Structure 1
Amino acid sequence: MAVPDQPNKHHKSRGDALPGDIATKSRSSSGPGGGGISGASAPIRRSAIFVPGNVEDGPAPSKPSGPASLPSTPSGSGPATVPPARSGLPALMQRPLDLTQVINWLQTDGWISPELAKATIDRCSHASSSQHPIVRLASVVVPRQLDGKALDVEMLTEFVAKHCGLPYYKIDPLKVDAAKVAETMGAPYAQRHGILPVQVTAQEVVIAVKEPWIDEWVGEVERQARRKVRRVLANPKDIDRYRNEFFALAKSVKAASKLGGSLSSLGNFEQLVDLSNTNQQFDANDQGIIRLVDWLWQFAFAQRASDIHLEPRRDQSVIRFRIDGVLHKVYQMPLGVHNAIVSRVKLLGRIDVVEKRRPQDGRIKTRNTLGDEVEMRLSTLPTAFGEKMVMRIFDPENTVKDLSALGFTPHDAQRWEKLVERPHGIILVTGPTGSGKTTTLYSTLKRLATEEVNVSTVEDPIEMIEPAFNQTQVQPALDFSFVEGLRALMRQDPDIIMVGEIRDLETAEMAVQSALTGHLVFSTLHTNDAPSAISRLMELGVPPYLINATLLGVLAQRLVRTLCPQCKQPDEEASTEALTSAIQPWKIKRDYRPYKPVGCEECRDTGFRGRMGLYELLTVSEALKDQVHGSPSMSVLRRQAVKDGMHPLRLAGALRVSEGLTTIEEVMANTPPIEMGDR
């Protein structure tokens, strides 16, 4: 069923004036496509092409004697050839994307039925006419005939790109140089034409567009940027969102650079910073550094970052995010801006701003743009080029989970839940820094913290505020250590105690004493696997008979990256030798289905998205207690633990590989090998 085209009401006439900051000659009146330049007598009008060095939008100083200044060519490349203003499409083709045309394409390709096409037009007629056709169509929730999936903006954008002959482009903000975006054109010009530069090289500018049939601006941009323009079609909502963010970021960096690290205008700190009130459209009166910090946090939250690194270098500073365990470079900025950002964050985190010669710690509690509370732990470190700062992000949704969401296998989940229900004793969680120990402990304590139970913690520092716990932080400057904290807690009538880490014999002895007096004690150790925790306690000086009397179990864990569900593919060439050798000794019947990472827009071409836990749970049985004496052999302890039901970390990883959740390489890189004594 052919549906007649309807005019798009939100498109403005091309004859509108284009105010901006570079004077350019008007297009010839020979055609609406602007195929030529008029003569010398033609009037002059202003466009918003950006002048390098002028980040803020506004008119540039007039130069009546010559043309507007242009970006310099790359070193060694010679003078650039300025292409004439031109339009690639005929004048009659310069029109906005039409909603009914897209619906006709969907019907022709069998995505929707003729009846649904007609109904969709009727439903879209009630949607806002100011929206882009793709956004309007996605808002009415049209199911795809092939599989019933709702047509979202991303799916429709890719579909339209194929029909229009333009490459589809998924904007990844981590791969866009915001500074170069702002140097290419001004924000008003980009907003007027619905475009956004996403990649700038010495030869070309890749520009994401919302309107595939309109390219009359291309010649003007090529002339001013002295580079070829390559158009790509991108999500219209992403173009609007990131255009605001990138130009606002560039404007804030410019404003912050003027401060030169000065702190006098930054004002007092707030205990709770409400990012949801941050105005995306910055005006000239905004304090650039405050807005820059707010943008940094919002961006990190949106990208699922676990850590923010601010690293001073010799001539500039680098911002990096850790996402799924891997660091990604986000932005470069002048050192003066770096110093201002660090000082601003130190103010908010109640850290001494003047002290720059020694490391300091602090914390900030804030909200993201959705209104959810987020906590950040701050750490500064003096380096050769200035203060380095790391902000570790603790999102309650990621830090405190239901036990079923931690990633235990059914075998270990049942054993762990049974273990933590014991009334008294010591339970240890081991693993390197960043292996998820805090998430496991907080999630377990949250499960146990009922109205009838008093849960108290002693931490260094408090990782995340949890209302269900009574949390205490050690303060070495006041001689308040883990030992002093445990002594104080013993007089607070606790039922369950969590000690941040057992570092020395005195802390271990207090933990043992607490367990002997009827308390359930959780703590952490730094060991490679679960059996090593027993030998570690003995190395600290805890007698074997006290270990046997109090230790209930040890959980060792690691984090591995999970394969992106959108792009992973079966790996027919994968060697299953390591997988088979890990699984076969336990006589576990599995259909091997190894997958490999491919890379797509959803995972930023890494092939991985998110992380999951691998666990090794040792429970102290009577048979194991018989082996804990003198200097027990690790192979003997490990063999007995396996007999009692412990699955080594590499076996847990092999099971996840067989399920297609991660790769053999990830497991091999993050888990210790299975020794012969384990089998």
Structure 2
Amino acid sequence: DIHFEPFEREVAVRFRIDGALREVTAPPKRLMNAVVSRIKIISGLDIAERRLPQDGRAKLKLGDRVVDMRVSTLPVVHGEKVVMRILDKSATSMDIDSLGFDPMTLKEMKRVLQTPHGVIVLTGPTGSGKTTTLYSFLKHVYSPEINIVTVEDPVEYQLPGINQVQVRANIGMTFAAALRSILRQDPDVVMIGEMRDQETLEIAVRAALTGHLVFSTIHTNTAVATVTRMADMGLERYMITSSLICAISQRLIRMICPKCKEPYTPSPALQQQLANSFRQPSVEIDLWRGNGCAFCNQTGYKGRLAVHEYMTMTPKLREMIIALRPETELEEECQKNGMRTLRQSCFMKLLDGLTTVEEAVSLFYED
């Protein structure tokens, strides 16, 4: 993302790179209006309207690449704040093998993607890479012999061979309305950008129960909490257990820069912090960190990778969900079946030297 922020005497320009905002050289304040007007023109916005927020989109040609740009404007005290999201499909890997799943989970994930019907749910906060993961699932199952339709808000990347529907709530094209129409289009696979309400959830589950494979997202903190969230939205538990194939919780963490990566032995205090954060015995281990170089802009980090928590439905888990067993017991049962929690997955990335202790611990600061 690129942020243009007007203040009383200056303009701030910040780039969000690998999840963190960094300030860069900004144009003079006197040029801000011209910059905003130009951005509005190329993204199809009304340059005369400065009192209301606006959203637009544009395609830019950068050398031999064509990238999409989403633009959002917001009136603030000293002008209009502009945020541009650059969507470069060529820079985003949509191969399921490169998503960061551990080998066992990847094998299981490929197996469930061959299931002819059911619901696969991704969970995680905004900006955790859920859409990229969903697109990788679509790419993995794509074949000219099947009909894939998506309903999204917004459509982030245009995928060849896949019919993508843009939600337009202002004219009545909501997720639920679009989904009803999609199901009359003879789909084999349906992707729903987000199950935001009971109506959308119920239609999605009915679609799964009538022979469709459904991918979607929902907002929860853990994979197991997906069950609770679906029940809280009004879905009967027998419907959940009949339709849900698996739930995957996902987070993104920054990777150590490969150019300036170096090992070190953490202090006893840091080792104890690790033991507390990851609920592991306190043992001596060697860790890695980035020293900072020109390649990573002196940050010590370059790129991000996903950590996952994968819950798959089993007969025993179905019984426990119907019996209203608490989330703690459901999680224990999942771990007996081989589920690695987000905390455990993050700890493994740390031991593998892929990320720093500071980055790993930051995911669990709330604990």
Q: Normalising by structure 1, what TM-score? A: 0.51
Q: How does 1:602-621 map to 2 (within 5 A)?
A: 602-621=295-314
Q: How does 1:29-40 map to 2 (within 5 A)?
A: none
SS of residue in 2 equivalent to 1:626: helix
Report the alpha carbon displacement of residue 341 of structure 1 after superposing the two structures with TM: 1.6
Aligned to 2:58: 364
Q: Cα gap change, 1:591/1:452 in structure 2, threshold over 3 Å: closer, same or farther?
A: farther
Q: Contact between 1:500 and 1:523, CA under 8 Å: does it hold in 2?
A: yes
Aligned to 1:633: 326
CA distance in 2, matches of 1:591, 1:411: 27
CA distance in 2, matches of 1:347, 1:391: 13
Determine whether 1:354 maps to 2:75: no
Q: Cα gap change, 1:456/1:655 in structure 2, threshold over 3 Å: closer, same or farther?
A: same
Aligned-pair identity (%): 42
Which amino acid in 2 is paired with 1:357? R
SS of residue in 2 equivalent to 1:439: helix
Which amino acid in 1 is paired with 2:148? V
Aligned to 2:218: 525
Aligned to 1:428: 121
- How many residues align? The count is 363
Determine whether 1:311 maps to 2:5: yes
SS of residue in 2 equivalent to 1:363: strand
CA distance in 1, matches of 2:323, 2:78: 51
Aligned to 1:330: 24
Q: Contact between 1:591 and 1:658, CA under 8 Å: does it hold in 2?
A: no
CA distance in 2, matches of 1:506, 1:399: 32
Q: Cα gap change, 1:482/1:400 in structure 2, threshold over 3 Å: closer, same or farther?
A: farther
Which amino acid in 2 is paired with 1:380? T
Report the alpha carbon displacement of residue 631 of structure 1 after superposing the two structures with TM: 4.6
Aligned to 1:386: 79
Which amino acid in 1 is paired with 2:215? F
Q: Contact between 1:496 and 1:520, CA under 8 Å: does it hold in 2?
A: yes
Aligned to 1:670: 363
Q: Cα gap change, 1:620/1:474 in structure 2, threshold over 3 Å: closer, same or farther?
A: same
Determine whether 1:376 maps to 2:40: no
- CA displacement, residues 19-71 of structure 1 (integer Å, 9 cap, x when unaligned): xxxxxxxxxxxxxxxxxxxxxxxxxxxxxxxxxxxxxxxxxxxxxxxxxxxxx
CA distance in 2, matches of 1:389, 1:658: 40
Q: Contact between 2:241 and 2:318, CA under 8 Å: does it hold in 1?
A: yes
Q: Contact between 2:271 and 2:284, CA under 8 Å: does it hold in 1?
A: no
Q: How does 1:455-604 map to 2 (within 5 A)?
A: 455-574=148-267, 575-577=270-272, 582=278, 592-604=285-297
CA distance in 2, matches of 1:311, 1:432: 25
SS of residue in 2 equivalent to 1:562: strand
Which amino acid in 1 is paired with 2:28? P
Aligned to 1:192: none
Mind listing any 5+ residue stretches in structure 1 that lack a counterpart? 1-306, 675-679
Q: Cα gap change, 1:423/1:373 in structure 2, threshold over 3 Å: closer, same or farther?
A: same
Q: Cα gap change, 1:608/1:527 in structure 2, threshold over 3 Å: closer, same or farther?
A: same
Aligned to 1:438: 131
Mind listing any 5+ residue stretches in structure 2 that lack a counterpart? none
Report the alpha carbon displacement of residue 602 of structure 1 after superposing the two structures with TM: 1.5
CA distance in 1, matches of 2:15, 2:98: 25
Q: Contact between 2:287 and 2:353, CA under 8 Å: does it hold in 1?
A: yes
Report the alpha carbon displacement of residue 580 of structure 1 after superposing the two structures with TM: 5.8
Q: Contact between 1:315 and 1:334, CA under 8 Å: does it hold in 2?
A: no
Determine whether 1:344 maps to 2:42: no
SS of residue in 2 equivalent to 1:332: coil
CA distance in 2, matches of 1:420, 1:583: 32
Report the alpha carbon displacement of residue 594 of structure 1 after superposing the two structures with TM: 1.2
Q: Cα gap change, 1:494/1:347 in structure 2, threshold over 3 Å: closer, same or farther?
A: same
Which amino acid in 2 is paired with 1:610? G
Report the alpha carbon displacement of residue 562 of structure 1 after superposing the two structures with TM: 0.7
Relative contact order higher in (CA < 8 Å, ≥ 6 apart): 2
Report the alpha carbon displacement of residue 584 of structure 1 after superposing the two structures with TM: 5.9
SS of residue in 2 equivalent to 1:408: coil
CA distance in 2, matches of 1:573, 1:546: 49
CA distance in 2, matches of 1:319, 1:395: 20
Alpha-carbon RMSD: 2.0
Q: Cα gap change, 1:592/1:351 in structure 2, threshold over 3 Å: closer, same or farther?
A: same
Q: How does 1:136-175 map to 2 (within 5 A)?
A: none
Report the alpha carbon displacement of residue 538 of structure 1 after superposing the two structures with TM: 0.8
Aligned to 2:102: 409
Report the alpha carbon displacement of residue 516 of structure 1 after superposing the two structures with TM: 1.1
Q: Cα gap change, 1:488/1:336 in structure 2, threshold over 3 Å: closer, same or farther?
A: farther
Which amino acid in 1 is paired with 2:56? G
Report the alpha carbon displacement of residue 673 of structure 1 after superposing the two structures with TM: 7.9
CA distance in 2, matches of 1:399, 1:598: 26
Report the alpha carbon displacement of residue 365 of structure 1 after superposing the two structures with TM: 1.7
- CA displacement, residues 324-380 of structure 1 (integer Å, 9 cap, x when unaligned): 1111111222344222222212221122222222222121122222x1221111111
- CA displacement, residues 265-284 of structure 1 (integer Å, 9 cap, x when unaligned): xxxxxxxxxxxxxxxxxxxx
More strand by share: 2
CA distance in 2, matches of 1:453, 1:429: 22
Aligned to 1:51: none
Aligned to 2:145: 452
Q: How does 1:155-304 map to 2 (within 5 A)?
A: none
Aligned to 1:321: 15
CA distance in 1, matches of 2:275, 2:151: 43
CA distance in 1, matches of 2:65, 2:289: 35
CA distance in 2, matches of 1:463, 1:540: 26
CA distance in 2, matches of 1:315, 1:579: 45
Q: Cα gap change, 1:410/1:672 in structure 2, threshold over 3 Å: closer, same or farther?
A: farther
- CA displacement, residues 587-627 of structure 1 (integer Å, 9 cap, x when unaligned): xxx99441123112211221111111111111111111112
- CA displacement, residues 132-179 of structure 1 (integer Å, 9 cap, x when unaligned): xxxxxxxxxxxxxxxxxxxxxxxxxxxxxxxxxxxxxxxxxxxxxxxx
SS of residue in 1 equivalent to 2:24: strand
Q: Contact between 1:505 and 1:541, CA under 8 Å: does it hold in 2?
A: yes
CA distance in 2, matches of 1:367, 1:353: 22
CA distance in 2, matches of 1:591, 1:625: 40
- CA displacement, residues 555-584 of structure 1 (integer Å, 9 cap, x when unaligned): 111111111111121111354446567486
Q: How does 1:71-82 map to 2 (within 5 A)?
A: none
Q: Contact between 1:593 and 1:657, CA under 8 Å: does it hold in 2?
A: no
Greater CA radius of gyration, 1 or 2? 1
Which amino acid in 1 is paired with 2:47? V
- CA displacement, residues 470-510 of structure 1 (integer Å, 9 cap, x when unaligned): 00101112111001100110111111111111111011011
Which amino acid in 2 is paired with 1:353? I
CA distance in 2, matches of 1:576, 1:392: 39
Which amino acid in 2 is paired with 1:319? V
Q: Cα gap change, 1:527/1:429 in structure 2, threshold over 3 Å: closer, same or farther?
A: same
